Structure 1
Amino acid sequence: MTDTSVLINDEDEAAPAGPGIEIKSLYKIFGPNPQKWIDCVKAGMSKEELNRKHGHVLGLTDISLEIPPGKISVIMGLSGSGKSTLIRHINGLIAPTVGEIVCDGADICQMSAKTLRQFRRSRTAMVFQKFALLPHRTVLENTCYGLDIQGVPRATSEPVARRWITRVGLKGFEESYPSQLSGGMQQRVGLARALATDADILLMDEAFSALDPLIRLDMQAVLLELQQELQKTIVFITHDLDEALRLGDRIAILRDGKLEQVGTGQQIVQHPANDYVSAFVREVNRGRVLQAATVAGPLPEGKLPAMTLPGKLVLEEAARRMLDAGVLRATVVSARNRPRGVLEMADLLSAMVQRTETSPQ
């Protein structure tokens, strides 16, 4: 099938006001003298050779990545791919061997210790896989913690914390301790603590990975609901493709410290960049991932089909609605109900069962 897909995105959504992040040519070598070997790595020295011959570990190789403001950017990869190393560069917990990380025109890697501390406290918040709650503090006190670090008085911070505790569904548990909560409830506290600081940038490192599957889905739904309103710049780390596809406005796939592909979930599922990415997406239920706008053809001249479908409707539901209506064609519309393309039943079914093809290099 010829790729004539219609993208329905930017013109139908208000531009987020928060900061974006640009990562430029980032390398990270772990060891006693990383600067000595950076030119060799740039010239092509492999990770294995660097480790075997010189006792250094190559963590990240030439990472250039734009993280758009107000969106969820997912960094996905298997264990050892470098995803947690990368997210820790964004708030300066790890310094690169070379490279830049630019936010609002300032290079985080060049900030003074004082400026970096202020950046971490006021501009970023982190949600951890293991919850990282203080066991001697109540839910309310844990939620206040980031504001305590900023020096905000409790008279000001407690009403803010109570509001976020309610928003994440924990009203009534303010005086409970972490040991009295389930894993899902503890992670809700971690999310409330991060949101209470009103940081522009939210860093989530395998935040839901330790949760049971149903609780994990519930937390994903909570995050998506909050993000629809808040439009934070979120960097979300995961090893799970289903989670990446559900949450990510954009997805970056890492392997051995290198970027394999960056794109929307739709782009990655339909057009994996190489065999490695193709192996990730092979078992994806395309009908529950691909959207009507991705498969729709361009608007024809003349009369449009009377039936309309939202551009972000997944193909499985689009097929169900078209079958119920007894139609073979539907007009795909934007969030503002503007016609953007026409979806043919034949193209829809083909996209749902079509073998994934690797994009040409």
Structure 2
Amino acid sequence: MSEAPALYLSGSASFEDTPVFSGLDLKVAAGRWTCLLGSSGVGKSTILKLFAGLADQVDFKGQLGAEGMSLDGSVALMAQDDLLMPWLTALENVLLGARLRGDKPDTMRALGVLERVGLSEKAGQKPAELSGGQRQRVALARTLMEDRPIVLLDEPFSALDAKTRAQMQDLACELLAGRTVLLVTHDPAEAARLGHQIILMTEESTQAITPPQSDAPRAATDPDVLRAQGDMLALLCAETPD
């Protein structure tokens, strides 16, 4: 894997003449987890799609990129929807990236990643046979298989129960250490646990939130985590119309 770069995006975006965001100036720290927090509709997912090169229908005016590196071939994206191929097994879905690139699939590594997400016994099952949370874990395993310096995660733990969510957060922190991770979330608790850099995005601006100073992933019961979570929730509530 190449050394993980910092990311930058500045400018405005619209979709079918409807503004998505404007005057945005976003900087994502190299080799760290940046949590992008905000209400629905402020453009968080659009930012991920722009970095991933998957926003053809979005009219973006500005600059974006990775410092010292092309974004092409450097990005792994986990979208909000699991995007599993229904005719493939869980294992085959995890290996899909290699298959599409024409690379030799590393089946043993894929089985190992499925085991780490708690789905080794589901390797031969197709998406229709899996629960929503299990499908999301397969999508996470597929993302973890991609050895990319930049990882974009769009609500990757949203379908999981509280215990499994904490376990998958811990696993992602372990396996994505040293990568530049941009995580979109609606959950202040998640941002407080995982973020080295936390950015609150509203329709008008972005605001840097000071994260707890301990290493991530942090204990959910840590007083600094609870304090940061409360501060972020208060800011989000202040931005929500009555």
| TM-score interval (norm. to shorter) | 0.7 to 0.9
Identify the residue that residue 131 of structure 2 maps to in structure 1.
182
Q: Does 1:97 align with 2:60?
A: yes
Whether contact under 8 Å (1:76, 1:253) holds in the other structure is yes
Equivalent position SS for 1:84:
helix
Question: Equivalent of 2:104, from 133, 153, 159?
Answer: 153
Question: Equivalent of 1:261, from 184, 207, 223?
Answer: 207
| Richer in helix (by share) | 1
Equivalent position SS for 1:224:
helix
Structure 2 residue identity aligned to 1:71: R
Shift of 1:216: 2.5
CA distance in 2: counterparts of 1:151 and 1:77, whole angstroms: 38
Whether contact under 8 Å (2:24, 2:206) holds in the other structure is no
Q: Does 1:19 align with 2:5?
A: yes
Identify the residue that residue 83 of structure 2 maps to in structure 1.
132
Identify the residue that residue 181 of structure 2 maps to in structure 1.
234
Equivalent position SS for 2:54:
coil
CA distance in 2: counterparts of 1:234 and 1:99, whole angstroms: 22
- After superposition, the CA RMSD in angstroms is 3.1
Stretches of structure 1 lacking an aligned partner (at least 5 in a row): 1-15, 32-55, 109-118, 268-285, 292-313, 316-350
Whether contact under 8 Å (1:89, 1:96) holds in the other structure is no
Distance 1:287 1:190, change over 3 A: closer
1:95-123 alpha-carbon deviations (Å, 9 max, x no partner): 55321112143575xxxxxxxxxx2xx31
Whether contact under 8 Å (2:195, 2:211) holds in the other structure is yes
CA distance in 2: counterparts of 1:222 and 1:21, whole angstroms: 23
Structure 1 residue identity aligned to 2:61: V
Shift of 1:287: 7.4
CA distance in 1: counterparts of 2:160 and 2:118, whole angstroms: 17
Distance 1:233 1:96, change over 3 A: farther
Equivalent position SS for 2:31:
coil
Within a 5 Å distance, the mapping from 1:256-295 to structure 2 comes to 256=203, 258-266=204-212, 288-290=222-224
Identify the residue that residue 57 of structure 1 maps to in structure 2.
18
Structure 1 outlier segments of 4+, above 4 Å: none
Identify the residue that residue 334 of structure 1 maps to in structure 2.
none
Structure 2 residue identity aligned to 1:72: W
Shift of 1:196: 1.4
1:304-340 alpha-carbon deviations (Å, 9 max, x no partner): xxxxxxxxxx89xxxxxxxxxxxxxxxxxxxxxxxxx
Using CA pairs below 8 Å that are at least 6 residues apart, which structure has the higher relative contact order? 2
Identify the residue that residue 53 of structure 1 maps to in structure 2.
none
